Structure 1
Amino acid sequence: MLVMLPPSEGKTPARSGAPLDLADLSHADLTPLRAKVLDALVEVGGRPDGPQVLGVSRGLADEVARNATLRDAPAAPASRVYTGVLYGAAGLDSLTPTARARAARHVRIVSGLWGVVTPDDRIPAYRLSMGTDLPGVGPLAPAWRGPLGDALTAEAAGALVVDCRSAAYLAAWTPPADADWVTVRVLREVDGRRSVVSHHAKHTRGLLTRHLVTRRGRPPRDAEELAHVASALVGDALLAVELDAPPRRGARTLSLVVA
């Protein structure tokens, strides 16, 4: 099983600690492109038009400027740096040793800067989205597509892929054809009518992630087992869990229905 997550938009900087060491990150084959993207982002961080280049508001100018110091900034586990609604619900920074080991084996966070990291990989806080056209690199999703294919396809081959990524991060990697690929959709039901939600979807995907890494027993091996495992959340966090029929190609959809 691989649980694919997007990064959080906001990051919590480490207050102290050793700086980033690219050689210590998982998926070492990504190091050359990581270094190239990092150098480009550091340069943009020192530019007065940095927010415009990265497609963010002037109110985030301080976060963009912080990119200029990424090579020297303190690093911390990704589970602590990534914050926000999804990660607050997943609680990857407050797991037991057993659950933390399971998260390191099964959770992958796709990033515009690092390509992909595990929750234990030590990174600094940064500001960069996968949808960025970064000077010196180009559009990030196409730039990462080949390297991520090399890094992740072997892990995903024949495995269950529980995909909680947003569209920009889905564009950077597609699981192989022999993977049991399941995207997670969250629906809100009111008076019998359902609609797609965004903010609460992050929270619900975080709850599913935590359930998958903290529950007892082996991880689910296919879409049907995933739906069965997720059904344990019905009555507490969910109203219903629904799995669509297998398509000819591409992903199945697991719908998590909330009140």
Structure 2
Amino acid sequence: MLVLLPPSETKRPGGDGAPLDLTALTAPELTGVRTRLAEALVELAGDVPASRAALGVSAAQDAEIARNAALRTSATLPAVERYTGVLYDALDVRSLTPARRARADARLAVGSALFGLVGAADRIPAYRLSAGSALPGLPTLRALWKPALAPVLAAVPDLVVDLRSGSYAALAPVAGAVTVQVLSERPDGTRAVVSHFNKAHKGRLARLLAGTPAEPTDVVGLRRLLRRAGLHVEHDGGTALTLVVPAT
């Protein structure tokens, strides 16, 4: 099973690993696109106003541009520890037992605008680049990533659970992947799409899937696993699941 997570805009600073080695990341066949983007991002960081415009950041966020400037030389962390925010707080990989962390490292991957795909244990620096960013002189990120990344994801032999947000899933959709929508249910039975807490629920779901010794091979097996874990999951056919949570 491969669980695809979205990245986060916020990144944990620092690190204890050697500088970025693009060839050591998961799916080395993506090295060419990664190199092109990394070089463009470092070069762009030399022009702060242009960086602000391309990355959609303000002057108060110039530290993000400085991170890009040091992309090749700064310390690294495992990707699943580098990303922060609501989803990754709920995932909380640092609290997993060694056995569960090993499964998490094998099963979790992050869709990235800069790296395309990184495994949970891949060591990466802090950076700033979003799926909607447009780097001067380059095609759109979707135009760059889809031809390279889509075949990599299509070749995954295991069940793929795609929890990426829409903009990152659009970089390289995965045919046949299981997707999960989160709905909140009010006491009167009416439902609404979860917005604010969507990431938290997906983080908890990722934690469950990362740690379980079970290995579902299709959407029915995944549905069964989630229901055994006490989750209210609905399945109307196909590869889409709906996670229903009480409204808060």
Q: TM over 0.5, yes or no? A: yes
* CA deviation map 1:186-205 (0-9, x unaligned): 11112321111222111111
* CA deviation map 1:162-220 (0-9, x unaligned): 110111111111224xx4x211111111232111122211111111111112123x311
- Report matched runs for 1:1-259 at 5 Å: 1-49=1-49, 50-156=51-157, 159-176=158-175, 179=176, 181-191=177-187, 192-216=189-213, 218-234=214-230, 238=231, 240-246=232-238, 252-259=239-246
Q: Give the Cα–Cα distance (whole angstroms) in 2 for the partners of residues 60 and 175 of structure 1.
A: 33
Q: Give the Cα–Cα distance (whole angstroms) in 1 for the partners of residues 61 and 227 of structure 2.
A: 40
Tell whether the 8 Å contact from 1:4 to 1:161 is kept in structure 2 after alignment: yes
Q: Give the Cα–Cα distance (whole angstroms) in 1 for the partners of residues 220 and 32 of structure 2.
A: 38
Q: Which ranges of 4 or more aligned residues in structure 1 deviate by more than 6 Å?
A: none
- In structure 2, relative to structure 1, the CA distance for the partners of 1:243 and 1:57 (3 Å cut) is farther
Aligned residues: 244
TM-score normalised by length of structure 2: 0.92
Paired AA for residue 174 in structure 1:
P
Q: Give the Cα–Cα distance (whole angstroms) in 2 for the partners of residues 48 and 106 of structure 1.
A: 38
* CA deviation map 1:109-166 (0-9, x unaligned): 110001100010000011111111112332112210111123222114xx32211011
Paired AA for residue 155 in structure 1:
V
Identity score, percent: 45
SS state of the match for residue 133, structure 1? coil
* Displacement after TM superposition at 1:222 (Å): 0.8
Paired AA for residue 198 in structure 1:
S
Tell whether the 8 Å contact from 2:2 to 2:107 is kept in structure 1 after alignment: yes
Unaligned runs of 5+ in 2: none
**Quick one: higher RCO (CA 8 Å, sep 6+), 1 or 2?**
2
Paired AA for residue 174 in structure 2:
P
Paired AA for residue 180 in structure 2:
V
- In structure 2, relative to structure 1, the CA distance for the partners of 1:214 and 1:120 (3 Å cut) is same
Tell whether the 8 Å contact from 1:92 to 1:119 is kept in structure 2 after alignment: no
* Displacement after TM superposition at 1:244 (Å): 2.1
